[in-house]
Structure 1
Amino acid sequence: MTRSRLAPWISASRWPTAPIRLVARLGSGHTPSRSKPEYWENCTVPWITLADVWQLRDGRTTVITDTKEKVSPLGLANSAAVKHPAGTVILSRTASVGFSAIMGQDMATSQDFATWTCGPKLEPRYLLHALRGMTPDLERVATGSTHKTIYMPDIEQLRVPLPPLEEQRRIADFLDAETARIDKLVALRDRQIRLAQEGRASSLNHTFKRETHSATRLKHLLATRPRYGVLVPQFVEGDGVRFIRVNDLLDLSGRANSLRRIPHTLSSQYARTITRPGDVLLSVVGTMGRSAIVPPELEGANIARAVASLRPATDVSAELVAAWLTTPDFIRQAVIATSSDTAQPTLGMEDLANFRLSWPSSPSAQRDLLHEVRAIQRHGNRLVRAFQAQSRLLAERRQALITAAVTGQFDVTTASGRNVTEGVTA
């Protein structure tokens, strides 16, 4: 990794830059052997793993104090894991790359994190902001086809602008205050997005449940029973069958060239879920109600176990089926059907086939309903896109504020970050 590849904006720093490892002790973590039960008894040491990254994804958490798992002193003593002191800065470097925080107490980490224990020339909060300024660059240079990784030799090359310690503290104070203010606006936008999505779903629900519609079950609208896909996928490079997972349903159009692939022989074992244009795909494990219609370019693909394939009958609109799957009426039935699950909610195909809904009783009524559904979706989507655009703008301006502050492009003692939110009102 060269300095030009990673965080090129650092070259504009008014202060000298230095490798972080020269002003902070670089470390990492490890996982004690799971085959030694005694290493996992009397666990008292907080242990940061990728299961804790959820706390850091929005960039608003500065200090991490709670962890999903703990390790024992015996496990630490018999592995490469170490207990780092409170104030150590962490950075996730595998799978979920670029998430950072400060340890709120003495803690250990898995091998998925790099750690820096700051020396007398580096303020931990300033380093945290600098690392967060590098997040897009870290994501860009991460390598790996399955799980993206920043390898330790590259971590060793990371540099940071190094103003005097008191200036670092002033910058950290400024960024703490100004990013918190931006984060409040982002949280407001997130809430508005949720409300717009809920309003869209509620309007669709009301439109479907008309007195003129007939009560039916989902299976009566389908050409075949719902099916779920490949239980244990095996991925291949190059020639293979395109494979659709739950996250792919968020934006299925235009994904033909970016989907993972599975062997043709494996796909043929699940021939009943090989896709056709117009099939409706639905997430049925964990997240419920995420749906998409298979576009023509994804004919012949296959689906994951967490995705169900619904093939509408010839006289049934796939758009209407997909729209109904986003309504509170569908979600309510899905919650009831999975309420006894002790682990991850999983919707059974027989339960799904017997879901009840109201449906137009004639082709002309179906066309009228489709017209109304499209109007509701257009209006709701416009609102969601507008709020999402403002969220992206706030994120970009937050990032620009951090990079400008840590490189000394303005004097934080006299500056205000308020101009970064011009045009974005509460």
Structure 2
Amino acid sequence: MFGDFHTTLFPKYKIGEKFELSSGSTPSRDNKLYWDSGTINWVKTTEVINKEITETEEKITKFALENTSLKLFPVNTILIAMYGQGQTRGRSAILKVESTSNQACGAIFPNKIDNPVFIWHQLMLRYSELRELGRGGNQPNLNGQLIKNFELILPPLSLQNEFADFVAQVDKSQLAIQKSLEELETLKKSLMQEYFG
């Protein structure tokens, strides 16, 4: 549909030309007022694993949000792991709930003229290219400037939406298949108990 990135006729833009970027931070662990009974999602790079984020392992408090440099990212923000162990660097995720994040996550805010699902899937597809940007220097990390200069294909919104609708249908089918497999596994266990129990 969109062709190879390097030969496509669709326009290309640097991320920084079309999107606002930011990053997160980590409130002091020594201050219990930042963490105890927190209710606001706080994403770590270990959770940025090419998936939708609907919940986080750790949460910060409203006090932390109001008294630190943390920013609350809106739904459909795309997070990129800028550094991390193993395969972490270059992975991405999309927020399905408002969240904050640690400083190892770069955030691409949604705009009003591009489909965030299309952008996110393009970043996942080009994970190796994105990851390679961090090579060189003592520590192979990505940074905000490298992400800003990374180019994306941006076809007309109608085509981006068509792609996102297709992805939604595939995801729906995968969920239905997964549910059927789980039901079959439960049935199998029940029959095994009946035969050998």
Q: Place the TM-score, normalised by the shorter chain, in its bin.
A: 0.7 to 0.9
TM-score by length of 1: 0.37
Once residues 82 and 63 of structure 2 are traced to their aligned partners in structure 1, the CA distance between those partners, rounded to angstroms, is: 26
- The residue aligned with 2:114 is 122
Q: 1:179 to 1:160 in 2, by over 3 A?
A: farther
1:138 aligned onto 2:130: yes
**Helix, strand or coil at the partner of 1:167:** helix
> What does residue 378 of structure 1 align with?
none
Asked if 1:41 corresponds to 2:39, the answer is no
CA distance in 2, matches of 1:37, 1:175: 41
CA distance in 2, matches of 1:11, 1:116: 23
Q: What residue number does 1:27 align with?
A: 22
1:77 alignment counterpart: 66
Following superposition, the deviation at residue 42 of structure 1 comes to: 3.3
SS state at 1:11 partner:
coil
1:111 alignment partner in structure 2: 103
- Cα drift, residue 174 of structure 1: 3.0
Distance 1:171 1:41 in 2: 42
Higher CA-based Rg? 1
Q: SS at 1:118's partner residue?
A: coil
- Are the structure 2 counterparts of residues 125 and 69 from structure 1 closer, same or farther at C-alpha, using a change threshold of 3 Å? same
Superposed CA offset, 1:364-406 (max 9, x none): xxxxxxxxxxxxxxxxxxxxxxxxxxxxxxxxxxxxxxxxxxx
Matches within 5 A, 1:268-347: none
Matched letter for residue 79 of structure 1: T
Contact 2:55 2:97 in 1 (8 A): no
Distance 2:64 2:81 in 1: 22
**In the alignment, which residue of structure 2 is the partner of 1:150?**
142
Contact conserved, 1:23 with 1:121, CA < 8 A, in 2? no
Pair 1:98-2:90 in alignment: yes
Q: What one-letter code is carried by the residue in structure 2 that aligns with 1:99?
A: R
Distance in 1 (alpha carbons) for counterparts of 2:153 and 2:6: 9
Structure 1 unmatched runs, 5+: 1-8, 188-426
Secondary structure of 2:41 counterpart: strand
Under a length normalisation based on structure 2, what TM-score does the superposition of the two structures give? 0.76
The separation in 2 between residues aligned to 1:82 and 1:100, in whole angstroms, is 18
Residues 130 and 160 of structure 1 are in contact (CA less than 8 Å); yes or no, is this contact kept in structure 2? Answer: yes
Match of 2:5, SS state, is helix
State the partner residue of 2:181. Answer: none
The Cα of 1:71 is off from its aligned counterpart by 0.8
Q: Quick one: which amino acid aligns to residue 24 of structure 1?
A: F
Higher mean C-alpha deviation, range 37-46 or range 63-72: 37-46
Tell me the residue number matched to 1:13: 8
- CA offsets per residue over residues 57-104 of structure 1, 9 Å max, x none? xx4x3x211111001122122222211111111111111112212111
3-state secondary structure, aligned to 2:30: coil
SS in 2 for 1:86: coil
C-alpha separation between the residues in 1 aligned to 2:138 and 2:57?
A: 24
Task: Choose the corresponding residue for 1:173, options 151, 165, 168.
Answer: 165
Following the alignment from structure 1 to structure 2, what is the Cα–Cα distance between the partners of residues 123 and 178? Answer: 17
Higher relative contact order (CA 8 A, sep 6+): 2
Sequence identity, in percent? 25
Q: 1:80 is aligned with what amino acid?
A: S
Q: Is the 8 A contact 1:25 1:116 kept in 2?
A: yes
Partner SS state of residue 6, structure 2: helix
Superposition pairs of residues 190-205 of structure 1, within 5 angstroms: none
